Amino acid sequence: MNNKHILVIEDSSKNTFGGGQKISLLILSFLKGTHKVTLFDTNRKSKFHKEAKPFINNFFILFKYGSSRSGVVGFLMKFLEYTLFPFLLVLNLALIFIKTRVFDEKLVYATTKKSLVIAYFFKLFFNIDFIYHAHLVETNYYSKVLISFILKKSKSVISVSNVVQKSISAKNNIVIYNPIKSDVNLKGKSLNKRIVVAVFASLIKIKGIDYFLRSHRYLNTGKDVEYWVFGEGVEINSLIKYKSENVIFKGFTDSVIDEMKENVDILCFPTIIEEACPVTILEAFSCGIPVISTDIGGQAELTTDGYNGYLVPIKNELKIAEKISELINGDNYNLFSINAIITARKYNFNEFKNKLETIF
């Protein structure tokens, strides 16, 4: 038994249960039995906290301020949040120190930029090592400089894709792709009479949902094709105008795999930014579902054009429609489905777990 005590710092104040938190849960499940785990989070009622309970020894609420809002109100709240952050940082450092002062051999595991700042000062003041799990591609120059400076103090950095690794400068920065569970007995899918093309995403501007929805009018398949949108977010009011008999808004689901297995034929991933290592794409592959994704970032590292899906330029509804039509009308759907399953098996749990064990 390793007596190291892992202090996990999360932030569920704004997020729904997304890919990054799914990976955090998986890591918690791996740590259980070999380490003691104390979770610090900002939301006691989050789905993440509920799912994490079986894997943790202690839980404490961090001080926080902020919520996801759009427009002028959102800007003002974000300004207030950043203004208060230094004061909240001091409070949270004191809280973590008080709650863990009796623990021996501590190690901090940070998953967001806010938690990284906390981990940095915890290292600075109390000499406690930290690991940073980088789930975002850093594009802002000043953010890159700040994070690179902070990571000089890190024990290790886990980047979830090559594009993430290249976006930050840090020692001991290794790439460990997110894993996915795949069914060894799963066979390739075939298209039915009704075809469902789905998006699973937060309804925010950077996800490119509007380009996906507009592509429906350009389809050239001669078949019954429905677009399903799974997710919630601030852009719902501007997107709902695309709703029709064949464009259906399904709301948020925490049963992504079940929905994919039972209903979805093609996953569209139209995001207009470089994503890190989208779990949704891996989930689709594990179900034998081909993916049509934008040709940037970690999404392009996972999706191989002409093999397990197609890559399209960002902000291009015509290309999205063209590739959906090509996949439906052509003879390669079943082959792409088989290749998707083969791809998913490359991102297996055992390799992921073995790499993590060497870090923790």
| CATH assignment of the domain containing 302 | 3.40.50.2000
Residues of the chain above pLDDT 90, percent: 72
- Do 146 and 15 share a structural domain? yes
Could you tell me where the DSSP H helices lie in the chain? 19-31, 47-52, 71-100, 113-126, 141-150, 162-167, 209-214, 236-239, 256-263, 279-286, 297-302, 317-329, 333-346, 349-359
Q: With respect to residue 326, please indicate whether it lies within any of the assigned structural domains.
A: yes
Query: Which residue, 148, 176, 204, sits at the end of a domain?
Result: 176
Instruction: Round to whole Å and give the CA distance between 141 and 158.
Output: 20
Classify residue 195 by its DSSP letter.
E
So what's the pLDDT on residue 66? 58
Is 129 inside a domain boundary? yes
Mean pLDDT of 81-100: 89
Using pLDDT thresholds of 50, 70 and 90, give the confidence band for residue 321: very high
Q: 338, exposed or middle or buried, with CB in 10 Å at 0-12, 13-18, 19+?
A: middle
In the prediction, which pLDDT does 99 show? 94
Residue 302: which domain range?
A: 194-346
User: What's the total number of domains in the chain?
Assistant: 2
Is 294 inside any structural domain?
yes
Residue 325 lies in a domain: yes
Across 46-60, average pLDDT: 91
pLDDT (tens digit per residue) in 98-145: 999 999 899 999 998 889 999 999 999 999 999 999 999 999 999 999
CATH of the domain at 19: 3.40.50.11010
Residue 41 lies in a domain: yes
Cβ–Cβ under 8 Å, residues 312 and 292 = yes
State the average pLDDT for the chain. 91
Residue 360 within any structural domain of the chain? no
